[in-house]
Amino acid sequence: MKPIYKRVLIKISGEGLMGRQGFGIDAGAVEDIAGQIKEVADSGVEICLVVGGGNIFRGVQEASKGISRTVGDHVGMMATVMNALYLQNVMERLGMSVRVMSGLEIPQVCENYVYRRALRHLEKGRILIFFVCTGNPYFTTDTGAVLRASEMGCDVLLKSTQVDGVYDDDPKRNPKAKKYREVSYDEVIEKQLRVMDLPAIAMARENKLPILVFSQHEQGALAKVLSGKGNFTVIKES
């Protein structure tokens, strides 16, 4: 593997951790992701991770059923805590040095996010898992991922999803949907392509942070994408 990036942030959705279960955490799925990360880390790439919580709880979904959005998002943030701690432990079992940094204070459980401390961890070769990045309701982990990638000076944000890139329509429902090899931030916003929420795309555009969208289901996808190969869509300036 010949990586073309030095420092990257990988966004793993909660769905990526639930495997075929449809809910919760699947040990096999997490081990698979951890193994892919190890392959990339061993090649010398500095890695930041942001983990979602959609496999357990999504504030906006529950708010539509009548629960307060703010409380729903607080519960959603707790879901991301569970995923991050689980992933950290699996990665450590595989021999990686991993620190979890939280945007909410949970001192007995993990470190608080401190900008300079996070940079120091990376310099020492540690992998970072960030969660609850904004620390606020009404945000998603995608927005938090763009925020941390910008702060840490990452070359690129890799978003692993259920499909192998950005399409002009939902490829699961429309077999004629066309995949973009490259698409601009503006086009994603104008055409409301459902790859990330608006604040995340707008922040990436402002900070000129390229986003690579790829499938988590493809064997060895992470290593390929980081070498500039494989199937993905890049979102960047036109």
Cα-based distances in Å from 50 to 47, 128, 193, 218: 10, 8, 22, 20
Q: Which of residues 1-40 bind ligand UDP (CB under 6 A)?
A: 13-15
Cα–Cα distance measured from residue 63 to residue 29, given in angstroms and rounded to the nearest whole number: 28
User: 43 or 112: whose CB is closer to ligand UDP?
Assistant: 112
Q: In angstroms, give the least distance from the CB of 195 to ligand UDP.
A: 12
User: 195 or 226: whose CB is closer to ligand UDP?
Assistant: 195
User: 128 or 175: whose CB is closer to ligand UDP?
Assistant: 128
Question: Is position 161 an interface residue for ligand UDP (rule: CB under 6 A)?
Answer: no
Strands 127-131 and 182-184 turn out to be unpaired
Residue 13 CB contacts under 8 Å (≥ 6 apart), including other chains: 52, 54, 55, 141, 160, 161, 216
| Contact of 11 with 158, CB cutoff 8 Å | yes
Q: In angstroms, give the least distance from the CB of 53 to ligand UDP.
A: 3
Cα–Cα distance measured from residue 218 to residue 230, given in angstroms and rounded to the nearest whole number: 9
Q: Which of residues 128-147 bind ligand UDP (CB under 6 A)?
A: 132-134, 136-137, 139-142, 144
Question: Is position 121 an interface residue for ligand UDP (rule: CB under 6 A)?
Answer: no
CA angle centred on 157, ends 199 and 93, rounded to 5°: 120
User: 54 or 165: whose CB is closer to ligand UDP?
Assistant: 54
Cα–Cα distance measured from residue 213 to residue 188, given in angstroms and rounded to the nearest whole number: 12
Pull the structure tokens for residue 197.
């929420």
Question: Is position 88 an interface residue for ligand UDP (rule: CB under 6 A)?
Answer: no
| Contact of 222 with 10, CB cutoff 8 Å | yes
User: 132 or 183: whose CB is closer to ligand UDP?
Assistant: 132
Q: In this chain, which of 77, 163, 213, 226 binds ligand UDP, going by CB under 6 A?
A: 77
Question: Helix 198-206 to helix 141-151 angle, to the nearest 10 degrees?
Answer: 10
User: 182 or 197: whose CB is closer to ligand UDP?
Assistant: 197
Question: Is position 58 an interface residue for ligand UDP (rule: CB under 6 A)?
Answer: yes
Question: Is position 54 an interface residue for ligand UDP (rule: CB under 6 A)?
Answer: yes
Residues that bind ligand UDP (CB under 6 A): 13-15, 52-54, 58-60, 72-73, 76-77, 79-80, 132-134, 136-137, 139-142, 144
